[in-house]
């Protein structure tokens, strides 16, 4: 027993050294990624060039990584502000609208007087526009009453700021065209909900949603149907004076409206009429 105890005492320092060495090696493994960072020592010019090259190749995730490293390492250099704007575009091209919008908002907040801030507003509008009204939006058969038009409203608001604050911007003509599209899309959403209420005989709710479309988007083509819904709803409610007043307005503004003959039966969803415009 004495010899065993003496052996264990002699072995203890060796075990301690082994444990310490193992801990050191394991700890060192955590540092390995930093030790082989390919961008270590790169100049801001090279980081920016490599990021742009990655963008051109469609490697947006790699470009984002380079732009973010550039801003983190050289926050006050001449490339930092451009990197913030470029990373927003990279997120947009990578179809990550939430990240693109967040990057645009950050750039606008940090650099409200930057010469390219008009582009930040335009890109923010585009990111929201594609999120709500892109291919998946109009190919989907999802009931529009279940869709939140928030992205469309946010897109319209971003384009509106661009058009009002920077009327001479090269992005303003396209933003204006998209705003016209959005106005009718948003009005059509309200009209769609009004039609939904009509089918369920919720006539007061139908009138309210149709009125919202007309008041909020007075020049939208969808208001032709909104007026017709109001006429039918007032008739069902027995409000003959309001029905007749609304009909006079509709006949004055839409004297040849097809709704008089067709009614509310539509051959296709409203959004299909917008595809390709």
Over the stretch 42-96, which tens digit does the pLDDT of each residue have? 999 999 999 999 999 999 999 999 999 999 999 987 899 999 999 999 999 999 9
Residue 259's pLDDT is what? 87
Q: How many CA atoms lie within 13 A of 10 on its CB side?
A: 6
Question: In angstroms, rounded to a whole number, what is the distance separating the alpha carbons of residues 69 and 138?
Answer: 38
CB neighbourhood size of 243 (10 A): 18
> How many residues does the structure list for the chain?
277
Identify the residue with better confidence: 124 or 265: 124
Q: What global pTM score does this model have?
A: 0.72
Structure tokens at 182: 């959005």
Q: What is the mean predicted confidence (pLDDT) over 223-245? A: 95
pLDDT given at position 262: 72
Amino acid 36: pLDDT: 75
DSSP category for residue 267: S
Domain positions in the chain are 44-107
8-22, 43-57, 227-241: segment of lowest average pLDDT: 8-22
The single-letter DSSP state of residue 221 is: T
Q: Render pLDDT for 178-199 as a digit per residue (tens, 0 to 9).
A: 999 899 889 989 999 999 999 9
Grade residue 268 by pLDDT with cuts at 50, 70 and 90.
Answer: very low
How many Å apart are CA 274 and CA 17, to the nearest integer? 74
Q: Residue 130: its pLDDT value, please?
A: 78
Question: Would you say the C-alpha torsion 13, 14, 20, 21 has a positive or negative sign?
Answer: positive
Contact 130, 183 (CB under 8 A): no
User: For residue 274, what pLDDT is reported?
Assistant: 35
Please tell me what DSSP assigns to residue 255.
Answer: T
Q: C-alpha angle with apex 105: 87 to 161, nearest 5 degrees?
A: 120
Alpha carbon 93 to its chain centroid, in Å, reads 12
The answer on pLDDT for 17 being more than 90 is no
C-alpha span between 120 and 108 (Å, rounded): 7
Look up residue 31 and give its two tokens: 């540092």
Eight-state DSSP code of residue 142: -
CATH hierarchy code of domain 44-107: 1.25.40.10
119-166 pLDDT tens trace: 999 999 999 987 655 434 444 445 444 567 888 899 999 999 999 999
State the pLDDT confidence band at 27, using cuts at 50, 70 and 90: very low
- For the packed helices 203-216 and 172-199, what is the interaxial angle rounded to 10 degrees? 170
- The answer to whether residue 24 scores a pLDDT higher than 80 is no
Lowest mean pLDDT among 47-56, 99-108, 122-131, 238-247: 122-131
d(CA 169, CA 162): 8
């Amino acid at each position: 027993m004495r010899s065993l105890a003496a052996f264990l005492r002699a072995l203890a320092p060796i075990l301690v050294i082994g444990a310490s060495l193992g801990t050191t090696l394991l700890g060192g493994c955590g540092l390995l990624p930093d030790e082989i960072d390919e961008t270590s020592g790169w100049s801001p010019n090279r980081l920016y060039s490599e990021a742009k090259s990655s963008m051109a190749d469609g490697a947006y995730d790699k470009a984002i990584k380079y732009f973010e490293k550039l801003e983190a390492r050289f926050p006050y250099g001449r490339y930092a502000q451009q990197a913030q704007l470029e990373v927003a575009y990279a997120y947009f091209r990578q179809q990550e609208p939430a990240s693109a919008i967040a990057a645009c908002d950050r750039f606008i907040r940090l650099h409200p007087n930057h010469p390219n801030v008009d582009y930040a507003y335009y890109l923010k509008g585009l990111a929201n526009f594609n999120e709500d009204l892109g291919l998946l939006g109009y190919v989907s058969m999802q009931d529009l009453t279940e869709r939140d038009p928030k992205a469309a409203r946010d897109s319209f608001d971003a384009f509106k700021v661009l058009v009002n604050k920077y009327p001479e911007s090269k992005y303003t003509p396209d933003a204006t065209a998209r705003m016209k599209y959005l106005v009718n899309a948003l009005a059509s959403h309200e009209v769609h909900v009004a039609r939904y209420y009509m089918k369920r005989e919720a006539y007061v709710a139908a009138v309210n949603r149709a009125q919202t479309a007309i008041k909020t988007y007075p020049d939208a083509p969808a208001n032709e149907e909104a007026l017709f819904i109001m006429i039918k709803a007032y008739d069902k409610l027995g409000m003959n004076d309001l029905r007749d007043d609304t009909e006079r307005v509709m006949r004055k503004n839409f004297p040849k409206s097809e709704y008089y003959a067709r009614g509310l039966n539509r051959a296709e969803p409203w959004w299909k009429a917008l595809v390709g415009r």
